[in-house]
Amino acid sequence: MKMETEVRPAMPGDTHAVSSILFEAAAWLEQRGMGMWRSDELVPEHIARQVGEGLFVLAECHGNPAGILRFQLSDPLFWPDQPESDAAYVHRLAVRRQYAGGDVSSTLLSWAVERTRALGRPFLRLDCEASRPRLRAVYERFGFQHHSDLQVGPYFVARYQLAICPLTPDPLY
């Protein structure tokens, strides 16, 4: 049975849910030797401002928080060589383990594609740790193309982008 997933902007009252999903994902990655985020970056006090600014979206399955992503319109840290106005950027895509392997991540990415299209930006971009082939395969199956690799401080990342087709008027109107 396919689970119905709804995506909506995270509201200030969702800050603890966003933090909890990030902590769960970070712990799962740490258990597998793939530490990703520092725990001080994930506490509600740290992410509350970002949630309040509308940077996070929340996926819910039957009303239960299932996954999140951070959607932003610039990324000078990981994409310093690209024009700021030609893309939107996805960061911190995380899904609760009980929903892993389902459609939560693809639903969140589809939301990001539609939001990028609505903003008139030609690309949706993201980066991930270059040494994570399974995660890279998820993005590639979704349609992202490898753009380049980049060393950013201690992180060696693979950068991906997805070309977004602009909305075109229906020729019948």
Could you tell me if 93 and 56 are in contact, meaning their C-beta atoms sit under 8 angstroms apart?
A: no
| Sheet with strand 155-163: strands edge to edge | 5-9, 56-61, 64-72, 87-95, 123-129, 155-163, 145-152
pLDDT confidence of 46, banded at 50, 70, 90? confident
Task: Please name the residue ranges forming H helices in the chain.
Answer: 15-31, 44-52, 104-118, 133-142
CB atoms < 10 A from the CB of 59, how many?
A: 27
Give me the residue label for tokens 């995506």: 7
Tell me what pLDDT residue 1 has.
43
pTM score of the predicted model: 0.88
Could you tell me if 135 and 128 are in contact, meaning their C-beta atoms sit under 8 angstroms apart?
A: yes
Average pLDDT over residues 89-115: 92
Mean pLDDT of the chain: 88
Q: Using CB atoms within 10 A of its CB, is residue 16 exposed (0-12), middle (13-18) or buried (19+)? A: middle
Per residue in 17-28, pLDDT (tens digit) is: 999 998 888 777
pLDDT confidence of 173, banded at 50, 70, 90? very low
> How distant, in Å, are the alpha carbons of 10, 14, 24 from that of 17?
9, 5, 11
pLDDT at 124 over 90: yes
Tell me what pLDDT residue 161 has.
97
Give me 92's structure tokens.
């911190």
